[in-house]
Amino acid sequence: MKIEPNRKSRLRPYRDGDEAAALAIWWDSWHSIRPGLRHPRPLADWRARWVGEIVPAQAIVVAEGGGVVVGFAAAHLQARELTQIFVTPGRKRQGIGRLLLAWAQEQMPAGFSLHTLVENVSSRAFYRRRGLVEGDTRTNPVNGLPIVEYHWTPPANRPT
């Protein structure tokens, strides 16, 4: 992994012992998008998806700060999709998301897509600032909420 750590956080490969921390970050960050937002599926379903679908089939990296997992990203490399990118709500705006996104760009140098909730205004602004381009919207089949697709294309491959 070539990603250089910032002064507060560093990336490392996911380990089985990171499961509880990653699930807590995923759950807490998703629910912090707006007050009152509740996912229709229980945390146990998220864990089943994590263990049964994400961990066995995707590349996963975690961000550590002060010896604690503070974020993670998961990528389905063959599909060129960044499926997960989450930061502990209290640690946002500290460069962790940039580290995780840079990891995804390194892992999928030809480009990739990702999806986020339409109402996730802060993440959408973050993606635009990092050069991702908004695409189509649709309804997420798991939670029934509108999502928007973003695409990252490396600068050398962008149309002029």
Query: What are the DSSP calls for 92-111, one per residue?
Result: TTSSHHHHHHHHHHHH-TT-
DSSP 38: -
Closest CA to 117 of 69, 80, 160, 85: 85
Q: In this structure, is residue 118 part of a structural domain? A: yes
Q: In this structure, is residue 4 part of a structural domain? A: no
Whole-prediction pTM: 0.89
User: pLDDT at residue 5 above 60?
Assistant: no
Q: In this structure, is residue 2 part of a structural domain? A: no
The domain tally of the chain equals 1
B/e letters for 44-55, b = 16+ CB within 10 Å, e = fewer, are eebbeebeeebb
Q: In this structure, is residue 142 part of a structural domain? A: yes
CATH code (residue 65): 3.40.630.30
Q: In this structure, is residue 1 part of a structural domain? A: no
Domain span at 125: 10-157
User: Tens digits of per-residue pLDDT, 128-151?
Assistant: 999 999 999 999 988 989 999 999
Q: In this structure, is residue 3 part of a structural domain? A: no
Q: In this structure, is residue 66 part of a structural domain? A: yes
Q: In this structure, is residue 96 part of a structural domain? A: yes
Measured between alpha carbons, how far is 88 from 3 in angstroms, rounded to an integer?
Answer: 20
User: Tens digits of per-residue pLDDT, 58-94?
Assistant: 999 999 988 899 999 999 999 999 999 999 988 788 7
